[in-house]
Homo-oligomer: A and B are copies of this chain.
Amino acid sequence: MSKDRLSIDPTVGELHAEAQDAGAETVWERYEAQQPQCGFGELGICCRNCFMGPCRIDPFGEGADKGICGATAGTIAARNFIRMVAGGAAAHSDHGRDVATVFLAAAKGEAPGYEIKDEGKLHQVAAQAGIEVEGRDNKDIAIELGELALSQFGQQEGEVIFTNMAPESVRARWRREGIMPRGIDREIVEIMHRTHIGVDADPENILRQGSRAALGDGWGGSMIATELQDILFGTPRPVTAEINLGVLKAENVNVVVHGHEPALSEMIVVAANDPEMLKLAKEQGAKGITLAGMCCTANEILMRHGIPVAGNFLQQELALATGVLDAMIVDVQCIMPGLTDVKDCFHTRLITTSPKAKIPRATHIQFDEHHALETAKEIVKTAVLNYKNRRSPANVPTDKT
């Protein structure tokens, strides 16, 4: 692929060339190897939901116009679409579930290192959820809010609580259309049921369930994640910070945290600033420790701490090609499995931390909110001790914004 087509960011071209020189295959090569991509798959008219298939509809009207069960293109495309909704809603909401779990543990004093940072928002969110606030301890309010939030995932009947933040006229429409979410998980599971062999065949009815699960995520899982993170880690304000792979510093231990959940990244921020870690870094010959974020988790620590953003989803593999990235710490979502091959061409340690997301040949150091700082320090220490293993010349781009 020509350099110009890679990205409008010139540093991408430079680092991509470094990666190629080192024999690393990146997302761009893998994209080219997949061309041409399957037209049936692109149109969403192939179905593999049961073992009579795979089936596919001929988009030119010359071949099969139905799957073996009789599903039409409309049925197949609608089913495929809402299974994508199920994947997205599950990912977002499972993040929310983990936040609620950490929040509740923190409220109970069982997650050392985490604490209520935004009391005003605690009171506001609790009141919105119908929790008595006046004259009560923050601890009691937070425990009740954490339990209520967690209950929304398993709720079987009724309405997801934070839909009460939507205008009443909108909620009335959701009820009328049968798309008011009853619980977060239930709607996702019902998508998987409805799209199974021989269940829902009516595209409109299928799409309704997609909307219901999406609302369960948006006003449930994702809303819970956002609100409780603000209470726990502080409500963000506009900050100025640097962005791009140029934020890495050749003379420092460089750590990139990549993924989604601030429960991890917030603790990595603390650990990376720990005097003990800084001392260790200096003992290894580095001047200090640079922490940068990547992809979504970058935004979490950017907006709360002004930590620089090393890059976006497509730049994750190139971070390793700088030759100075001592560890990439990942949790869940948007982590390319391709990182594991790229790391073999450089010295970077790839550290997975979630029981839900392992990568073959990566180092797994499991994160646990009950021993958060301890684990975060172990992870940062792994990065620091890897500083002396650098083997390629430093290729840190000078461009940053």
Interface residues of A (CB under 8 A from B): 25, 27, 30-31, 33-34, 37-38, 40-42, 44, 46, 48-49, 52-56, 63-64, 66-72, 75, 80, 83-84, 86-91, 93-94, 97, 150-151, 153-156, 178, 183, 185-186, 188-203, 205, 209, 332-341, 355-360
Contact = CB atoms under 8 A, between A and B. Distances in A.
Give the copy number: 2
Contacts of A80: 48
Contacts of A358: 200-202, 205
Contact of A199 (B52, B195, B335, B360): B335
B198 A70 contact: no
A5 B201 CA distance: 28
A67 B34 contact: yes
A167 B196 CA distance: 32
Contacts of A67: 30, 34
Contacts of A332: 193, 198-199
A216 B42 CA distance: 34
17 contacts: A34-B53, A34-B67, A41-B54, A42-B54, A69-B336, A69-B337, A71-B337, A89-B192, A90-B192, A93-B189, A97-B156, A153-B156, A154-B186, A192-B192, A202-B359, A205-B355, A205-B358
Given A68-B34, A199-B357, A188 B190 contact: no
A343 to B, nearest CB: 11
A33 B64 contact: yes
A212 B138 CA distance: 37
Contact of A356 (B54, B154, B194): B194
A207 to B, nearest CB: 12
A312 to B, nearest CB: 13
B34 A56 contact: yes
B356 A199 contact: yes
A159 B91 CA distance: 22
Nearest to A203: B360
A30 B64 CA distance: 7
Nearest to A202: B358
